[in-house]
Structure formats: C-alpha cells, structure tokens
Amino acid sequence: MTEDTVLVTDAELKAICTELDATADTTFFIASAHSIIYEYYGSSTRFTETRLKLIELYLSAHFAAITNPSVAFEGIGKLQQSFQYKIGLGLENTKYGQQALLLSGNTLLRKKISISWLGTIPEENENNTEV
C-alpha cells in the first residue's frame, strides 16, 4: 500500500453506499478514508491488502453517510422531511462505521484510555489523618 494510491474506487463505494446517488463526487470520502487507513496500517503487516481495502471501503461509506444522511420520511403537506440517525459516537454512528470497526478487529481509531496521576499521595501520621 502506498500513501498516494487509494484502494477503493468510486464505483465500489457507490455500490454499497445507498446514501450516494450516481452523480455524487466521492473523491473526498475515499481520500479521507485512505489517509486514515494508511496512517494506522500503512507499515503494518497485520492485515492483508484485501482486508485493508474492505476497511477503507466501509470507512469511505461512513464518511459519505455522515455527510449525506438517508431520508427516513418525506411528506407533501408542509414539505416535511426527516432523516435517519443512529445515536452513537464516532464510527458507531453509521452501519458502515460499525462494519469498518468489525473488519479492523476493533482496532480502527480505538485509542487506549488511561489516566496518569501527577500528584503525590498525602502522608499519613499515626492517627491515619493527613499531615
């Protein structure tokens, strides 16, 4: 995999992403996903290129779905329209992001959370009270 050569094509993305119409420009979605995939896995041999392509495909679709949400309801009276949204954070917000997480073994964009204590433990005296 190289930094400049994306793994996913416009046609492949449009084939799975129902939120995109035939005239949509997918360049930004694909380039953004490739940038992340390359940064996380570019020098790694953890996944095959086939697996990386699938992760990049679903990550591209995630970006497209966030930008172009699916219409859940349209009405004529008073021109109503509502969109489908899932309550979730990050990649869990779309079905495509969830698939990208699954394909990556939950390693994609998962940072380890840790807390570092920079203070000191108060000294205690004989009566177990702080000094």
DSSP per-residue letters across 29-83: HHHHHHHHHHHHHTT--SS-HHHHHHHHHHHHHHHHHHHSPPEEEE-STT--EEE
pLDDT digits (tens, 9 = 90+) for 11-21: 999 999 988 99
pTM metric for this prediction = 0.72
pLDDT one-digit tens code per residue, 40-62: 888 877 889 999 999 999 999 99
- Position 113 scores a pLDDT of 40
Residue 91 burial by Cβ neighbours in a 10 Å radius (0-12, 13-18, 19+): buried
Sequence-separated (6 or more) residues with CB below 8 Å from residue 112 = none
Q: Quick check: 10 pLDDT over 60?
A: yes
Least confident of 1-5, 22-26, 45-49, 89-93: 89-93
**Rg, C-alpha atoms of the chain:** 22
C-alpha span between 20 and 30 (Å, rounded): 13
